[in-house]
Amino acid sequence: MTALKIEQLRKTYDGGVEALKGIDLSVDDGSFFAVLGPNGAGKSTAIGIICSLVNKTSGRVEVCGHDIDTEREAAKANIGLVPQEFNFSVFEPVESIVMNVAGYNGIKRSVARHRTEHYLKQLDLWDKRKVPARNLSGGMKRRLMIARALVHEPKLLILDEPTAGVDIEIRRTMWEFLTRINCDNGTTIILTTHYLEEAEALCRDVAIIDHGEIVEQGTVNELLSRSMMETFVLDVDSTAKARAVSGFDVRLRNDDSVEFDVPKGTALNAVFQTLTDAGVSVSSLRNKENRLEAFFLRLVQSQRDESQDASSDSVRLGKES
């Protein structure tokens, strides 16, 4: 079954900005799906349309088989949203915020009370249940929005940059929680994030949006396999000796480490052998950058280059005519 199906979705804002240029997307039931893209790519607009916060210009969206235009309530009942910005009453106590949203979703108070307790405990907010939301820390506010989004137990949970501004420890805890929700409850999760390490660690499937278009889509492994080069960092006892080896472009990083590029899939034994022959001792080896991040940056850059080429072509054509 498909948790989310988008067909030819377009959005042009009043000012004429074309935020989405006819995207197609399909997210399988039970998937953990990342939507990546630079700022202004159209990610939040797409999420806004799915959740009825933004009116679409054209196209079709189905949530768990329900069309958002013709079966609005049924579609909404299946969605839990954790937006980018805090959007709760800062004067309300934590417990009331979650209880109210349960009520808006038609959940009786007795059941809502039980679920509120369950999710606030799961997200380590139970002790804060009587505290007005304005008194929570940034990380707690994010967790409150997750509890609120789950209280009606939706089949599709959408998180728009849920770990933005959250410290590493809380981020890891949130990752574990989301993974558990996905694996144990079978909740489909769609996540937008700027932390590509997060997408690589959590998600099985990825779509990359740029300039309102989906420029890549597939599993994380599929996308990574298209990445041609990898950069490794070596901590060595002599950077001078390491840089002198032939056959590899070894660059100096600092007094203790160097880096070099190899085609993806290359066995590293030859590199180590060459360094050993040159009398270089290697104390550690690591990837220079997050692999998905490298892929993402190269892809976005190539899109930029293509669009610049296209615009300069059109300028030239304009001059000639």
Partner 1 sequence: MMARLMAERVAFMTIVRKEIRRFMRIWVQTITPPAINAILYMLIFGGLVGSRISEMDGVPYLDFIVPGVIMMGIIINSYANVSSSMFVAKMQNFIEELVVAPVSNVTILAGFIVGGVARGLLVGILVSVVAFLFTNLSPMHPIVTLSIAILTSIMFSLGGFMNAMFAKTFDDISIVPNFVLTPLTYLGGIFYSITVLPEFWQSVSKLNPVLYMINGFRYGILGSSDIPLWHSYAVILVFIAVLGATCLTLLNRGAGIKQ
Binding site for partner 1 (CB under 8 A): 13, 48, 51-55, 72-77, 79, 81, 83, 85-91, 96, 100-101, 103-109, 148
Closest CA relative to residue 6, chosen from 207, 210, 161, 204? 207
Looking at the Cβ atoms of 148 and 211, the one nearer to partner 1 is 148
DSSP for 211-256, please give it. Answer: TTEEEEEEEHHHHHHT--EEEEEEEES-HHHHHH-SSS--EE-SSS
Q: Residue 176 to residues 40, 196, 221, 294: CA-CA distances in angstroms?
A: 29, 16, 21, 25
Looking at the Cβ atoms of 148 and 291, the one nearer to partner 1 is 148
Work out whether strand 257-263 and strand 229-236 pair parallel, antiparallel, or are unpaired.
Answer: antiparallel
Q: How large is the angle between the packed helices 168-184 and 138-150, nearest 10 degrees?
A: 10
Q: How far is the CB of 24 from partner 1 (least distance, A)?
A: 22
Looking at the Cβ atoms of 106 and 279, the one nearer to partner 1 is 106
**Identity at 215, one-letter amino acid code:** V
187 vs 109: CA distance, rounded Å: 23
Looking at the Cβ atoms of 148 and 171, the one nearer to partner 1 is 148
Q: How far is the CB of 217 from partner 1 (least distance, A)?
A: 25
Q: How far is the CB of 64 from partner 1 (least distance, A)?
A: 12
Q: How far is the CB of 94 from partner 1 (least distance, A)?
A: 13
Q: How far is the CB of 111 from partner 1 (least distance, A)?
A: 10
The answer to whether 226 touches 292, Cβ cutoff 8 Å, is: no
CA-CA-CA-CA dihedral for 113, 118, 119, 123, to nearest 10: 130
Q: How far is the CB of 146 from partner 1 (least distance, A)?
A: 14
Which conformational region is residue 37 in: left (phi greater than 0), alpha (psi within -120 to 50 degrees), or beta? left
Tokens standing for residue 307: 């669009």
Q: How far is the CB of 195 from partner 1 (least distance, A)?
A: 24
Looking at the Cβ atoms of 35 and 202, the one nearer to partner 1 is 35
Looking at the Cβ atoms of 88 and 260, the one nearer to partner 1 is 88
Q: Residue 71 to residues 5, 49, 52, 169, 277: CA-CA distances in angstroms?
A: 14, 14, 12, 40, 70
Looking at the Cβ atoms of 75 and 196, the one nearer to partner 1 is 75
